[in-house]
Structure 1
Amino acid sequence: MSKFELRMPKMGESITEATILNWLVKEGDSFEEGDIILEIGTDKVDNELPAPCSGKLIETKAQINDVVPIGSVIAILEVTKETSSAKKGNVTSSIVERSQNDNEIKEQKPVQVSFPPLGEMSKRQRENTFFSPLIISIAKTHHISFEELVRIPATGTDGRLRKSDVFQYINDGRPYKFAQPLNQDPTVFRIPQLQLDKGTGRIVEMDRMRKMIADHMVYSKHTSPHVTAYVEADVTNMVQWREDNKTKFQKQYSEKLTFTPLFVEAVAKAIKEYPNINASVDGDNIIIKDHINIGMASALPSGNLIVPVIKDADRKELNELAREVNELSEKARDNKLKGDDLKGGTFTISNVGTFGSLMGTPIINQPEVAILALGIIKKRPEVITTKKGDEIAIRSMMYLSLSFDHRVVDGFLGGSFLRRVADYLEQFDINREF
């Protein structure tokens, strides 16, 4: 029998750490290859970690609710039944991608941050402006500003801030969340510290995902100056084509044909004409993305929102888009989405019409620069132009609203892109083959 280290697996390019949600195997317990050892969660999705071999759990290195960096050791296992990978001495490499930078943080020098005068803060707090790369990484993940960070009570040597200090501060509810530097320019708006009457009633604590969604939404509104543009589209031809072909489509491809793949197709076409809408911001740089990966906002059984991603949507046929939309929707309903299903998005759509909403003002899914909301499709009398002149006819109408980041997307680009999406939906070929 041999022992080896089980490490926190890599679950996506942008994920650097994960939370231990639950140990399903206790110290001293035996397990078989493929058994679920523990449940882990990230800011995107929860996952189950299967055993890479048969064996026994000797020691846990991380406890429930601990936040662990990717690649860190989380348990020591004893192998009782070797697999082919165990014989080669790399059992964990078959289920995790080993971190090549485990010691990177230790090798980096602390970062010094300058602050404006902080008034009545203690001398130790004023001088506590040295933060390790690990602390800065945690602060970025939780959207903690330096003004907030410098106020956290530090217990490390020479007044240094420790990882445990930051997480204790987060658990305490982040009392300095809206901290503002004192003696700043009087023309700068400062968030008032109001003692509002919150009222009484049944208290429901936010679950972990709802807290992260709340943080991300506040961060998005704080980061991106949101502007929302609206257009109305006559989607009568598209609605009629789908109604005429949905049964045939399902028989031919064994896939249900909803409106979503038609929306994704139109958005992908419009992005190819206006690629600057498919971007993100990195400081003073704008990154125009190489791929068109469309996220579609979906509701989980808990009511929380999640955004699975259709990769390279512009390169897929309608039947492929329909298959991916249906698969991702089913995974969302069954709470089975994985990290790979959620990463890499470059533009997001939200079908608020599913809930009966006429239109919406969506919040940008960071680090993207725009998000499209699609309202409910309603029949109503409209004036249309025919060979006989103007006539009143029953048409299927829909509102589209685009929220965009005004730092890098101006009204011309945002409005032109939105109009082009509507044009593709309005000019749908009623005789189209698939």
Structure 2
Amino acid sequence: MATIEFKMPRLGESITEAAIITWFKGEGDVIEEDEMLLEVATDKVDSEVPSNVTGVIKELLYKPNDVVKIGETIAIIQSDGDNVKTEISTKKQKSKHIEEKTPKDTTEPNKKRRLEVSPKSVGNESFTLPNTNTFFSPLVISIAKEHHISYEELARIPATGKEGRLRKSDVFNYIEDGRPYRYAQPAVQQDPTAYRIPQLNFDKGDGKLIEMDRMRRMIADHMVYSKHTSPHVTAYVEADLTNMVHWRNKHKAAFQETYGEKLTFTPLFIEAVAKAIKDFPNINASVDGNTIIVKENINIGMATALPSGNLIVPVVKNADTKDLKSLAENVNDLVGKARENKLNGDDIKGSTFTISNVGTFGSVMGTPIINQPEVAILALGIIKKRPEVIETEKGDEIAIRSMMYLSLSFDHRVVDGYLGGSFLRRVADYLEQFDTNRKI
């Protein structure tokens, strides 16, 4: 009798682990070669895994919902040719006898399940669903992140999988049905003293109807998801950029002549932000459940307008390792691609912190919405000349200075006022303390 170690099979080149969804066989059961043994889930697909041997299952080493590395032994199967085949034959005869006595299910197996939701119920303030299985496979989580569906909303989706497990098809059906439980809340007994949002029917008025394009819908979903997920707090400082403005105006012509690149303020802002992130690395993070992920790379996203008016965030990768020339090249290249709608997937991936230059549109300051899953975003207002009181050797004097407001929105779940305020002040300090003797 041979003892076979059944290992988690390779499920794709980039996949290193998989979650066990369910075992189709139990310990002591007989299984045939190519008969399905278990179902597994990765961040790309759910798969049924067949046995590669005929035998008796002696031990299952992992339970459903366990995440297992590729190549790990997950079951022990004992194979003894003739005895096993006899057991299989006996079980098949018993199974056939039971099937003959059991009425066949006439339900169409491939018929698509639809959510039974009446139009009037969509948008109601409460709901009741029996979905209590809070385990979600990596594939389901991946789909949810792509469509900005929170864990709370996932728990509201009716599940058809074994033991109440949410399947990929359940999520896609739910999305196709318009996400009817998107803003629903669990039905609970109302506190008569509690404040309740009034159900108002607003007159939206008449006018030209413009259908949102796909990108605008994605932006809308992303913004609503961010405000729903992160408790936003916004802090403000102002900075005196007079020295930086004078240096840039003095050297921008020589910079373009030397390097063939325009010297805008954006690379100077990114340079200061990257320095401040190195001083306060916890601002360069994201949140995954109850875990804070502090990023090693400093990749600065720049909120940029497309010709259509939609926003996109191209990314300057490893901004802390680049000199001013490289930053200017990178920024100008990304902005040029955005204006010509030529940004590719790599250009907009991997940001760890985002800046939004609202001053480009003449705004004095802004209250930016966090670019999920980051924990903070910086808005830079217009650089405006105004009279300011400054200290000189002669005492206080009034002078014309180039001033700018900076505003930082941060996720108060993981960034407190000290970290947010200190980081924002440090960015302003780097801008104010610009070295006017710097060479290009």
What TM-score results when the alignment is normalised by the length of structure 2? 0.67
- 1:260-314 deviation line (CA, Å, top 9, x unaligned): 0000000011111111111111222222111111111101111111111111111
- 1:66-93 deviation line (CA, Å, top 9, x unaligned): xxxxxxxxxxxxxxxxxxxxxxxxxxxx
Q: CA deviation at 1:234?
A: 0.7
Aligned twin of 1:426: 432
Map 1:276-425 → 2, pairs under 5 A: 276-425=282-431
Aligned twin of 1:126: 130
Aligned twin of 1:235: 241
Q: CA deviation at 1:254?
A: 0.6
Does residue 270 (structure 1) correspond to residue 276 (structure 2)? The answer is: yes
Question: Cα distance 1:204–1:251, how it changes in 2: closer, same or farther (>3 A)?
Answer: same
Contact 2:385 2:402 (C-alpha < 8 Å) held by counterparts: yes
Contact 2:127 2:185 (C-alpha < 8 Å) held by counterparts: no
Calculate percent identity across the aligned residue pairs.
72
- Please, which moves more after superposition, 100-109 or 393-402? 100-109
- 1:300-343 deviation line (CA, Å, top 9, x unaligned): 11111111111111110000000000000001111111111111
Provide the C-alpha distance between the structure 2 equivalents of 1:405 and 1:207, rounded to a whole number of angstroms.
29
Structure with larger Rg? 2
2:388 aligned counterpart, secondary structure: strand
- 1:118-138 deviation line (CA, Å, top 9, x unaligned): 9875xxx53685887344543
Aligned twin of 1:256: 262
Contact 2:301 2:316 (C-alpha < 8 Å) held by counterparts: yes
Aligned twin of 2:144: 139
Provide the C-alpha distance between the structure 2 equivalents of 1:129 and 1:283, rounded to a whole number of angstroms.
17
RMSD: 3.3
2:188 to 183, 206, 211: 183
Contact 1:110 1:131 (C-alpha < 8 Å) held by counterparts: yes
Map 1:37-56 → 2, pairs under 5 A: none
Provide the C-alpha distance between the structure 2 equivalents of 1:374 and 1:426, rounded to a whole number of angstroms.
14
2:379 partner letter: A
Map 1:66-105 → 2, pairs under 5 A: 104-105=46-47
Provide the C-alpha distance between the structure 2 equivalents of 1:159 and 1:252, rounded to a whole number of angstroms.
65
2:209 partner letter: I
Provide the C-alpha distance between the structure 2 equivalents of 1:284 and 1:273, rounded to a whole number of angstroms.
24
Question: Cα distance 1:334–1:191, how it changes in 2: closer, same or farther (>3 A)?
Answer: farther
Provide the C-alpha distance between the structure 1 equivalents of 2:366 and 2:190, rounded to a whole number of angstroms.
36
Contact 2:303 2:311 (C-alpha < 8 Å) held by counterparts: yes
Provide the C-alpha distance between the structure 1 equivalents of 2:216 and 2:328, rounded to a whole number of angstroms.
29
Map 1:14-53 → 2, pairs under 5 A: none
Provide the C-alpha distance between the structure 1 equivalents of 2:204 and 2:434, rounded to a whole number of angstroms.
50
Provide the C-alpha distance between the structure 2 equivalents of 1:347 and 1:353, rounded to a whole number of angstroms.
19
1:222 partner letter: H
- Please, which moves more after superposition, 131-140 or 274-283? 131-140
Contact 2:131 2:156 (C-alpha < 8 Å) held by counterparts: no
Contact 2:133 2:163 (C-alpha < 8 Å) held by counterparts: no
Contact 2:389 2:396 (C-alpha < 8 Å) held by counterparts: yes
What TM-score results when the alignment is normalised by the length of structure 1? 0.68
Contact 1:147 1:179 (C-alpha < 8 Å) held by counterparts: no
2:130 aligned counterpart, secondary structure: helix
Contact 1:178 1:191 (C-alpha < 8 Å) held by counterparts: no
Question: Cα distance 1:317–1:366, how it changes in 2: closer, same or farther (>3 A)?
Answer: same
Question: Cα distance 1:128–1:285, how it changes in 2: closer, same or farther (>3 A)?
Answer: closer
